[in-house]
Amino acid sequence: MDSFPESETTFLPPGVLEHCFILVDILSAVPRWIPFKFFSYWMKNVQFKSEVQKSWGLPISGPCCYHLYRRLTTLKLLLRSLNRHFFSRIGERVHQAREELAFAQEQCAKYPFNASLASEEKALYAKFIDLSLAEESFNRQKSRVQWLAWGIRILGLFIRK
């Protein structure tokens, strides 16, 4: 029980046998491997190029294959943090940017001669456009992967017949 504290056991009735069956459910959280996915909208971020250069410029000693492995794993970690910082929950961010833009536009309509409100509205508009383009790119890339998987399944049906 110390190794698997969240496990459950069920003792089944022996019936006509001399022994009873025991069902053991191990409920411990096994870490799941998540594949790395490269999103094309990362390249439009201003920090993308510097992050790639930073990870690729690290001094590493060892064989050439290890150099490549180490640089790619470092790059993967940096790109995941870039994604977390700029693009996590992209749908919620687009919705929030749309609301902020609508509020700024209402303020500009109330006070049309305020230059600071106009510049703020312009910045919010640019932010909204950037986020919505990133969301569109994400959805397009995700749908392409789904269509590819569906296409392979359908192709298998035609080949079998």
Say if CB 82 and CB 51 are below 8 A apart. yes
What is the pLDDT, as a whole number, of residue 102?
Answer: 93
CA distance 87 to 92: 10
- Digit-coded pLDDT (tens) for 92-147: 999 999 999 999 999 999 998 999 999 999 999 999 999 988 888 888 887 776 66
Round to whole Å and give the CA distance between 157 and 48.
42
Q: What is the pLDDT of residues 37-64, one digit of tens each?
A: 888 888 888 888 988 888 888 888 888 8
Helix extents (H) in 5-114: 48-56, 64-86, 90-110
pLDDT score for 145: 63
pLDDT of residue 117: 92
Average pLDDT score over residue span 52-77: 88
Residue 156 has pLDDT above 80, yes or no: no
Residue 157 has pLDDT above 70, yes or no: no
pLDDT for res 154: 57
Question: What pLDDT band is residue 31 in, cutting at 50, 70 and 90?
Answer: low
Question: pLDDT digit string (tens) for 5-27?
Answer: 777 888 888 777 777 888 888 77
Are 124 and 101 contacting, i.e. CB atoms less than 8 angstroms apart? yes
Give the tokens for residue 160: 């079998």
* Cα within 13 Å of Cα(22), Cβ side: 6
What are the domain boundaries of the chain? 89-131
Positive or negative, the CA dihedral 89, 91, 96, 100 is: positive
What is the residue type of 81?
S
The tokens describing 139, both together, are 């959805």
Q: What is the pLDDT of residue 143?
A: 77
Calpha distance 106→154 (Å, rounded): 50
Using only C-alpha atoms, the chain has a radius of gyration, in whole angstroms, of 27
Element (H, E) at 114: none
CA distance 116 to 104: 11
Residue 141's pLDDT is 82
